[in-house]
A and B are shown apart, each in its own frame.
Chain A
């Protein structure tokens, strides 16, 4: 058994929904219908599985991290989403959405991006399928992720700067939604996480369940069953929900790790922004506050509604870590395993390192959601 579908209106308990301008309601409803049909269609699934295997390189391996485990006294296995084409788990989602967009007769993709991973993945899928692609990125992120900006341009996408508000991921989402309001007849909004209006949180989750399905089988093989703990970083929460989905029916503890400066589950209160109700960082009047994290990909004041629901149910719990702990984990993994992780998954590892005494002797499956090449220049400045 995996995670259940939301209610017809897109509710996960008290969270989720479809809070969009009226202009977009018919498009969201159409997307919901189209995804339901496609997801049940063996031909669509076959085409997607083919691309995931032959183009993205799935299945991704499970790596037992011997030296890291020895250093921390915790047995750690890494699900290697960093080895997918484009360097992160994001490709699972975009290939599915791009195929769906084509099936719906849309010729243009718009996307938001924080660190640039989802933007690169979307630009990649657009190039593969011959679609037009516009990626919105906060002005601040464009500066700190110049390499990914150039990658997207190489792939034929146009990168547009979001210059309002905090000029990071949240504002890139605002701009992408504004674009979609104006272009909905020809354009699919390729949203990058398990957030936004229904059907996105559910659809994006389904497209990432492949992570959990593979990891479950791999753990059965290596460990003879599920691990004691499954952990992943959480911004919007797509890689986390992907791996959690494979273990929700086991006794494994599910632990999402947020950045301390963007801990929506940890420090937010219920609110509605970007299409759904969830935990949200906001001020006393309901103005959304800015998140602050060393990792552009987690620099988001909200969280996917299903995580809010899992937290309320107590089925998953959410920890948060400081930037300094993340940087330490980033170097630790590089040094002990010969794997430079992205700063995002380094959050999950930072939690394991911090709580290693509590985790001693236990087995932890950690979703290594992306590789760290994109962060090297930034870390050179921080560590140099």
Chain B
């Protein structure tokens, strides 16, 4: 299987000595979410994760739950978000994050096609584990949509290589036992899972869940190739910091990562 656009980008940046930064934005949150996406690309994000909100986000903590509810209440739909992405010129690869029922309900092939035609490079479906992923990954592969898989601290040693082998784009290493959300300290498990993944794959390994600020990002990148930062970004959106304010935060993380 050929390497997809997201993985190519991330590998290229990594080989240039750069740590990878992927912020997460809840699609449809506020009128200016797409401006936020563009501003984050300008602020030094290597790719952007865009959430298509789902009614029952079991992997998400209070911040992203609140953002999902707010976006849905304003009428966000999978169509309104992919349609906006189709017309946006983001400048870096876009990764869609949503829950499996959104894809299942649309029809897997149709959903993969929609993502492809919306300039979406990859997808993350956090409630679709390896054993159940076959029908989706077949559809996604047909449409050149890379399926990012999660690797969790609970995975036994024999399981991690299977996940890393099937993952495309990057390996999303789950930093702690828990749902998305900010934590005051980086969990020690973040470093452990990053190291375990790095030992079995040369695909980019990004740690997400519980990476909350620049210092934590730098700390985890002593092992990992990069970070996904979600709740810390979305909280700023919910607080009304606007595209410029949120971008300033992401730029500060970028600067810290570049400074090492």
Contacts of A181 in B (CB 8 A): 58-59, 177-179
Of the candidates A174, A270, A272, which one forms a contact with B100 in the assembled complex, judged by CB atoms under 8 Å apart? A272
- A33 beta carbon closer than 8 Å to chain B: no
Hey, which chain A residues are within 8 Å of B5, CB to CB? none
Listed in ascending order, the chain B residues whose CB lies under 8 Å from chain A are 54-59, 61, 65-66, 69, 72, 77-79, 100-102, 104-106, 126-132, 149-156, 159, 163, 174, 176-179
Contact present for A21 and B150 (CB under 8 Å)? yes
Q: Select B55's contact among A22, A178, A183, A288, beta carbons within 8 Å.
A: A288
Is A273 engaged at the interface, CB distance under 8 Å to the other chain? yes
What is the distance, in angstroms, from B99's C-beta to the closest C-beta of chain A? 8
Most buried by B among A20, A27, A277: A20
> Would you give the shortest CB distance from A149 to chain B, in whole angstroms?
22
Given A19-B127, A20-B127, A21-B129, A286 and B179 contact (CB-CB distance below 8 Å) = no
Which chain B residues border A21 with CB–CB below 8 Å? 58-59, 126-127, 129, 150, 152
Option from B55, B61, B126, B177 in Cβ contact (under 8 Å) with A287: B55
A25 touches B69 (CB 8 A): no
CB–CB B155/A286 < 8 A: no
Cβ-defined contact, B177 with A9, below 8 A: no
Contact A17 B72 (CB under 8 A): no
24 contacts between A and B (CB under 8 A): A9-B132, A18-B132, A21-B150, A21-B152, A22-B150, A22-B152, A22-B163, A23-B154, A25-B131, A26-B154, A26-B156, A178-B58, A178-B61, A181-B58, A181-B178, A181-B179, A272-B101, A272-B104, A273-B56, A274-B58, A280-B101, A285-B105, A286-B105, A287-B72
B154 and A184 contacting across the interface, CB-CB below 8 Å:
yes
Asked if A23 meets B152 with Cβ closer than 8 Å, knowing A182-B179, A183-B177, A285-B78, the reply is yes
| Interface of chain A, main secondary structure | mixed
Q: CB within 8 Å of B: which of A14-69?
A: 17-27
A164 touches B101 (CB 8 A): no
Closest residue of chain A to B66 (Cβ to Cβ) is A164
Inter-chain contacts of A165 with B (CB < 8 A): 55-56, 69
Most buried by A among B56, B57, B61: B56
- Which residues of A lie under 8 Å from residue B151 when comparing CB positions? 22
Using Cβ atoms and an 8 Å threshold, which residues of chain B touch A27? 154
- Minimal beta-carbon separation of B17 from chain A (angstroms): 30
- How many residues from A make CB contacts under 8 Å with B? 39
Chain A nearest CB: distance from B239 CB in Å? 19
Output the nearest chain B residue to A9 by Cβ-Cβ distance: B131
Residues of the A chain whose Cβ atoms lie less than 8 Å from the Cβ of B100: 19, 272
A170 (CB) vs chain B CBs: closest residue: B56
Measured between beta carbons, the chain A residues less than 8 angstroms from B57 are 174
Is A249 an interface residue when CB atoms closer than 8 A count as contact?
no
- Which residues on the B side are within 8 Å of A25 (C-beta)? 129-131, 152, 154-155, 159
| Residues of the B chain whose Cβ atoms lie less than 8 Å from the Cβ of A288 | 55-56, 101
Cβ contact within 8 Å between A271 and B178: no
The answer for the CA separation of A270 and B179 in the assembled complex, in Å, is 26
Q: Within 8 Å CB of B163, what residues of A?
A: 22
Q: Kindly state whether residue A70 has any CB partner on chain B within 8 Å.
A: no
- Considering only CB atoms, which chain A residue lies closest to B79 in the complex? A285
**A271 interface neighbour in B79, B105, B131, Cβ under 8 Å:** B105
Q: Is A86 interfacial (CB-CB < 8 Å)?
A: no
Q: Given A181-B59, A183-B177, A272-B101, does the pair A23, B78 have CB atoms closer than 8 Å? A: no
- Contact, CB under 8 Å: B178 / A274: no
For the complex, what is the distance from the CA of A26 to the CA of B154, rounded to whole Å?
7
| Interface: A177 (CB within 8 A) | yes
Closest 5 CB pairs of A and B: A286-B105, A182-B178, A23-B152, A22-B150, A287-B55
Asked if A282 CB lies within 8 Å of chain B CBs, one says yes
Contacts A23-B152, A287-B54 given; does A271 touch B101 at CB 8 Å: yes
Given A181-B178, A182-B179: A285 touches B56 (CB 8 Å cut-off): no
The distance from the CB of A301 to the nearest CB of chain B, in whole angstroms, is 9
**CB–CB B131/A273 < 8 A:** no
Given A21-B150, A26-B159, are A286 and B56 also a contact pair (CB < 8 Å)? no
Across-interface contacts of A182 in B (CB, < 8 A): 176-179
Task: Find chain B residues with CB under 8 A from A23 CB.
Answer: 150, 152-154, 174, 177
Chain A positions 232-278 with a Cβ under 8 Å from a chain B Cβ: 269-275, 277
B residues in contact with A71, CB < 8 Å = none
